[in-house]
C-alpha cells in the first residue's frame, strides 16, 4: 500500500490525470481565501490564519499540506486585499504557491449584505525528487523518472462572493491558466504520458440560523469542487474527456455563545453516486474562540474507503487571530 501511494503521487503529477489536483481541506471555512480571492476583507477587520493537514496518517508519502492566509479591508472599506500561501507535499513531489488577492465589495440592500468580486495573481513551484522512490526497475528505463521537475508557473484566479449576517455563497476558479507539465512523452511500455495543470471550479454556500438568539447558532454549509466543467468546449481531443468526480463536503455545526464551535462533516462525490462515489470520509471538528481574538481548533477525518485498513485517518490543526475581534463581534457578529 505504501509503495502504491508513492506511485500514485507520481502518476497524478506525470500521467493522464483524472483527479483533482488542488489541496484538500476539511475546514475550508477557516482558509477560504485559498480558493476564492473575493473573500478578502469580508470579516471587516484583519484576519490571520494558519492550517496544517496530515492526510492518511501512517502511510508513507501521504499528502501533508500547510496554508497561511492574511486579509483585511483597506481604509476604503469597499476594497479588501489578502495573501495566501499553500505548501502541498505528496510522496516525492511538492507544490508551493503564493497569491495576492484583491476584492471590491459592493453593498447590496439595507441589511448589510455585500457582493464581492475578487481577482488574484501569483506563482506556483512544482518540483519532485524521484531518487526517494524505490523502483522495481532501473530509474533510467522509464522516461517518467528521467528528470526531477522544478517548474515555476505564474497564474491568476477570480471569484465572486455574496455574504450577509445569515447567508453566504461563492463561486471561484483559483487557477484560470492550464499549463502543460509534460508533453506527449512515451513511456517504457510505449504508452503516452501526459501531464497538465487543470482548472478547478469551487462553489460554496452556507447559513447561520439562530436557535437561541446569539447564544446558539446553527451553521450548515456546503463546498463543491469540479474539474470537468466546460469540457465540451475544449479543442484538444486528448483532454476533452478528462475529469474527476464532482466532490462535495456537507457540514453542520453549532456555535455556542460565540465561543465554542463544534461540527460534523461528510465528504463524497456526485457523479455516478451509486456506483463510483468514493464515500471518502466522515469528519468531526471543534474550534474555540478566545476573547482576545485568538482561535484554535482541530479536525479529524475518519476514512470510509479501503485505505481505512492502512491509516488511522486524517488530522487538521488550525490557528487564527482576528484583530479587533471583541469590538466587531459586539457590533455585528461574523459567522463566515
Read off the pLDDT of residues 51-86 as tens digits, 9 standing for 90 and up.
999 999 988 888 999 999 999 999 888 999 999 999
| Cell numbers found for residue 219 | 451553521
CB-neighbour burial class of residue 183 (10 A; exposed 0-12, middle 13-18, buried 19+): exposed
Taking 50 as the threshold, does the pLDDT of residue 330 lie above it? no
Please give the residue that has the higher pLDDT: either 228 or 122: 122
Question: pLDDT tens digits for 21-54?
Answer: 678 899 998 999 999 999 999 998 999 999 999 9
Q: What is the CATH number of domain 2-331?
A: 2.40.160.40
Distances, alpha carbon 121 to alpha carbons 1, 102, 136, 206, 294, in Å: 38, 9, 41, 27, 29
- Per-residue pLDDT, 22: 77
- Per-residue pLDDT, 84: 96
The predicted model scores a pTM of 0.84
Please give the residue that has the higher pLDDT: either 144 or 164: 164
Let me know: does 122 contact 156? Beta carbons within 8 Å.
Answer: yes
- Rounded CA separation 315/285 (Å): 10
Residue spans per domain, the chain: 2-331
- Rounded CA separation 82/47 (Å): 9
Residue 92's nearest CA partner among 128, 56, 124 is: 128
Mean pLDDT of the chain: 82
Please give the residue that has the higher pLDDT: either 114 or 229: 114
CA angle centred on 9, ends 20 and 231, rounded to 5°:
25
Let me know: does 41 contact 73? Beta carbons within 8 Å.
Answer: yes
H-run or E-run covering 3 = helix 2-14
| Cell numbers found for residue 54 | 496530515
By three-state DSSP, how is residue 78 classified?
coil
The pLDDT > 70 percentage for the chain reads: 75
**Predicted confidence band at 3 (pLDDT cuts at 50, 70, 90)?**
very low
**Predicted confidence band at 12 (pLDDT cuts at 50, 70, 90)?**
very low
Residue 254's nearest CA partner among 267, 244, 263, 243 is: 263
Q: Would you say the C-alpha torsion 149, 22, 244, 179 has a positive or negative sign?
A: negative
Amino acid at each position: 500500500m505504501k509503495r502504491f501511494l508513492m506511485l500514485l503521487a507520481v502518476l497524478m503529477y506525470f500521467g493522464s490525470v483524472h483527479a483533482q489536483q488542488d489541496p484538500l481541506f476539511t475546514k475550508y471555512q477557516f482558509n477560504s481565501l485559498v480558493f476564492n480571492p473575493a473573500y478578502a476583507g469580508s470579516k471587516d477587520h484583519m484576519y490571520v490564519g494558519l492550517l496544517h493537514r496530515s492526510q492518511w496518517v501512517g502511510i508513507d508519502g501521504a499528502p501533508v499540506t500547510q496554508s497561511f492566509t492574511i486579509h483585511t479591508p483597506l481604509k476604503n472599506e469597499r476594497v479588501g486585499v489578502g495573501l495566501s500561501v499553500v505548501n502541498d507535499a505528496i510522496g516525492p513531489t511538492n507544490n508551493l504557491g503564493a497569491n495576492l488577492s484583491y476584492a471590491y465589495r459592493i453593498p447590496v440592500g439595507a441589511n448589510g449584505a455585500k457582493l464581492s468580486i475578487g481577482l488574484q495573481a501569483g506563482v506556483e513551484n512544482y518540483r519532485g525528487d524521484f531518487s526517494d522512490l524505490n523502483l522495481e526497475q532501473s530509474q533510467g528505463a522509464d522516461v517518467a523518472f528521467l528528470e526531477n521537475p522544478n517548474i515555476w508557473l505564474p497564474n491568476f484566479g477570480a471569484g465572486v462572493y455574496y455574504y450577509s449576517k445569515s447567508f453566504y455563497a461563492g463561486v471561484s476558479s483559483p487557477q484560470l491558466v492550464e499549463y502543460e507539465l509534460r508533453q506527449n512523452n512515451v513511456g517504457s511500455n510505449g504508452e503516452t504520458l501526459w501531464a497538465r495543470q487543470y482548472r478547478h471550479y469551487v462553489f460554496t454556500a452556507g447559513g447561520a440560523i439562530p436557535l437561541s438568539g446569539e447564544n446558539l447558532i446553527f451553521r450548515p454549509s456546503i463546498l463543491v469542487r469540479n474539474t470537468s466543467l466546460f469540457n465540451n468546449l475544449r479543442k484538444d481531443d486528448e483532454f476533452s474527456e478528462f475529469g474527476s468526480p464532482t466532490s462535495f463536503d456537507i457540514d453542520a455545526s453549532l456555535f455556542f455563545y460565540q465561543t465554542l464551535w463544534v461540527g460534523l462533516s461528510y465528504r463524497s462525490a456526485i457523479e455516478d453516486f451509486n456506483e463510483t462515489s468514493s464515500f471518502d470520509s466522515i469528519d468531526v471538528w471543534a474550534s474555540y474562540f478566545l476573547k482576545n481574538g485568538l482561535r484554535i481548533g482541530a479536525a479529524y477525518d475518519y476514512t470510509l474507503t479501503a485505505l481505512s485498513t492502512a491509516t488511522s485517518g486524517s488530522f487538521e490543526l488550525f490557528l487564527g487571530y482576528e484583530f479587533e475581534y471583541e469590538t466587531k463581534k459586539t457590533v455585528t457578529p461574523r459567522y463566515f
